[in-house]
Structure 1
């Protein structure tokens, strides 16, 4: 356990009072509940960068607390409750599985503001926020489809929730459009962060012929497995993972939470916070594409940059027809764009993806 986490946990248990800012006003206390360790190199690392940005932006106007590696379930509810009891004004709960615990605790503390990442349940004191990660998957799919030599792309999937399913679909759509022979092999690991499981999945995919491995899990273990195997390319997930560049990591999806965390903290300080839903992407910078390595051929890089720009301007949506569902039934007609409701509830594969989504 990191030192700050240990001190935070002790402070929560001991019931330390919120301090006062230099101007004599009470500090705004902001809490963060993390599903993984802050050193995971991916999802939780980037959320923690958001916490650090809040500290830098507001100085002694705020006090931040966090607890890392909190399982989704009863432990999460306990941690949130303790934060609220110890004076938190705003609590960010940063994983899909925290949804019901967030709603339950928020009902008991109506004066505390809650922000839940990637969920869909709201209340008067609960906002939701997520990013259009599938835009980044479109870029990864395009690059992967153009660069694979085996025509086998591996995908390490975490949990069968819409966020993960639409990422798989987006990556496959854009890989298959530039390479109709491409095949996706998907392994579900049922974890967000477990380096051993992630490495094992990566090695299995490589043994099955994958020369490119995508992931929707949080550690750098797949990068290390690809590096050890040689001749396999990967993409950073949630964070740049640039230490594995220029290869095997040839680009990345970066989740930039800092501006959102600063904005929502400011709203609490100003008394203007209201419950809302945020779903931002490349256009606002909540989703960033990490530097594309020079290992990627210049023409492929140019194509990827053009795709990024078309999504940034709103000219292009990754789920634009014609597209069919996996069973071949018509889904989106030529030029038709998916509606937000269907996007958020996606529970099927597109045509061409093999296998079944676990229930």
Structure 2
């Protein structure tokens, strides 16, 4: 009888230990799963396979997943209209605690939804509005665009450089101006001819715009568009090209020289980590080459011989603060000085830029 009681007691102790151990293991798995349950949403204006803008943001998303182990969700090709509200609300219903909306036209809708969902953090790319739980963020792409302009200015023989551009908004105008200032810093006789497409993503339309510029005598094509269409048009015509967003050498290896490119990943990690730790604050971010959110891609063998030296020289000046792209004297298209000698445009003036510098051929429809 005693042996039976002892056996029963031992069995109960052993069973209790097993269940306690299982409970501890289950609790640890739940805690681990809880870390991975932090969900982040991304909204793209084009497909992630565009090789450009949306692709660069998606690379940042993948970097975020790898660095923090969070779960991410995304939607491609979302129009810049009211539809984005539904996309954001769907993501919130799926548990998204942070949402990155990556195109200018989403701004007003992000602002509206942010006020309806104060528990979610919203970050809007390339805009200027903020709320208590909505930030805006962008990079000083005009810095590497200036460097790209140096490359183009050295390469052109016709002194006609074509520029395929999306929309007449300050972001695009600022980029054209910076590029032109870079071109003319090295080749004051060169002109930059602008062709508007009024689309961010339309490979055929972008390519046709580049072809029309090539037909007018341009021998270098630059762009503020999301595909490699303009670069491919240049390659087919035996001309040269400057890309945008990502290193697209493989898309047009005989024409591509370099590209101003994005590096979103570290910023995404920083912001999501802050949200996870409860330290996130609404802000306006505009980092540059110094912060490594933007840079110039390596020069290919198609770039002119002196380009490496000249680009490095200008890059070092930008990084050490001795060169600010928009420092006067700067003239507008009509030859009138609009930035006096020694004056540097403020961020506000750059973010609202609606005029072209001398050397640009094109019109801004307001």
Q: Which residue does 1:283 correspond to in 2?
A: 290
**Structure 2 residue corresponding to 1:135, chosen from 140, 143, 152:** 143
| Deviation at residue 246 of structure 1 after TM alignment | 4.8
1:188 Cα offset (Å): 0.6
Matched position secondary structure for 1:39: helix
Residue 331 (1) aligns with residue 344 (2) = no
Cα distance in 2 for residues equivalent to 1:181 and 1:329: 17
Task: Name which of structure 1's ranges 307-316 and 211-220 shifts more when overlaid on structure 2.
Answer: 307-316
Which residue in the other structure is 1:173 paired with?
A: 181
Answer yes or no: is 1:302 the counterpart of 2:309: yes
Quick check: 1:130–1:280 contact (8 Å CA) kept in 2?
A: yes
Conserved 8 A contact 2:190-2:359: no
Q: Retained in 2: the 8 A contact 1:20–1:26?
A: no
The superposition leaves residues 74-103 of structure 1 with CA deviations (integer Å, 9 ceiling, x where unpaired) of 111211121122221000000011101111
The TM-score with structure 1 as length reference comes to 0.91
Alpha-carbon distance between aligned partners in 2 of 1:166 and 1:20, rounded to the nearest angstrom:
49
Is the Cα–Cα contact under 8 Å of residues 36 and 71 in structure 2 kept in the other structure? Answer: no
- CA offsets 1:250-298 (integer angstroms, 9 cap, x no match): 0111100000000001001100000001101111110021111123233
With over 3 angstroms needed to count, the CA separation of the structure-2 counterparts of 1:257 and 1:24, relative to structure 1, is closer
What are the residue-to-residue correspondences of 1:56-95 with 2, within 5 Å?
Answer: 56-59=66-69, 62-95=70-103
Find out whether 1:46 has 2:56 as its counterpart: yes
* Match among 321, 341, 352 for residue 345 of structure 1: 352
- Higher radius of gyration, 1 or 2: 2
Q: Which residue of 1 aligns with 2:299?
A: 292
Structure 2 CA distance for partners of 1:213 and 1:25, relative to 1, 3 Å: closer
Q: Give the Cα–Cα distance (whole angstroms) in 2 for the partners of residues 318 and 338 of structure 1.
A: 9
* Matched ranges for 1:3-42 at <5 A: 22=32, 24=34, 27-42=37-52
Quick one: distance in 2 between partners of 1:335 and 1:289?
26
Q: 5+ unaligned residues in a row in structure 2: which ranges?
A: 1-28
Aligned length: 338
SS of the residue corresponding to residue 144 of structure 1 reads: helix
- Determine the structure 1 residue equivalent to 2:154: 146
Distance, in Å, in 1 between the alignment partners of 2:251 and 2:34 is 47
Whether the aligned pair in 2 keeps the contact of 1:20 and 1:27 (CA below 8 Å) is no
Which sections of structure 1, spanning at least 5 residues, go unmatched? 1-18
| Matched residue SS, 1:234 | strand
Mapped contact 1:247–1:293 kept (Cα < 8 A) = no
User: Residue 233 of structure 2: SS of its match in structure 1?
Assistant: helix
CA distance in 1, matches of 2:343, 2:233: 40
- The superposition leaves residues 218-272 of structure 1 with CA deviations (integer Å, 9 ceiling, x where unpaired) of 0111122111111x11122101112146531101111000000000010011000
| CA distance in 2: counterparts of 1:151 and 1:318, whole angstroms | 21
Q: Is the 8 A contact 1:154 1:205 kept in 2?
A: yes
1:129-278 alignment, distance < 5 Å: 129-230=137-238, 232-244=239-251, 246-278=253-285
- Find the residue that maps to 2:201 and give its secondary structure: coil
Determine which structure has the larger helix proportion and give its number: 2
User: Does structure 2 conserve the Cα–Cα contact (< 8 Å) formed by 1:90 and 1:265?
Assistant: yes
| 8 Å contact kept, 2:258–2:303 | no
Asked whether the equivalents of residues 256 and 302 of structure 2 are also in contact (C-alpha less than 8 Å), the reply is no
TM-score of the two chains, using structure 2 as the length reference: 0.89
Residue 58 of structure 1 deviates from its aligned partner by 1.5
Shift of 1:310: 1.3
**Per-residue displacement from partner, 1:153-186 (whole Å, max 9, x unpaired)?**
0001101110100111111112123222212211
Cα distance change on mapping 1:21 and 1:257 into 2, 3 Å? farther
How many angstroms does 1:70 deviate by? 0.4
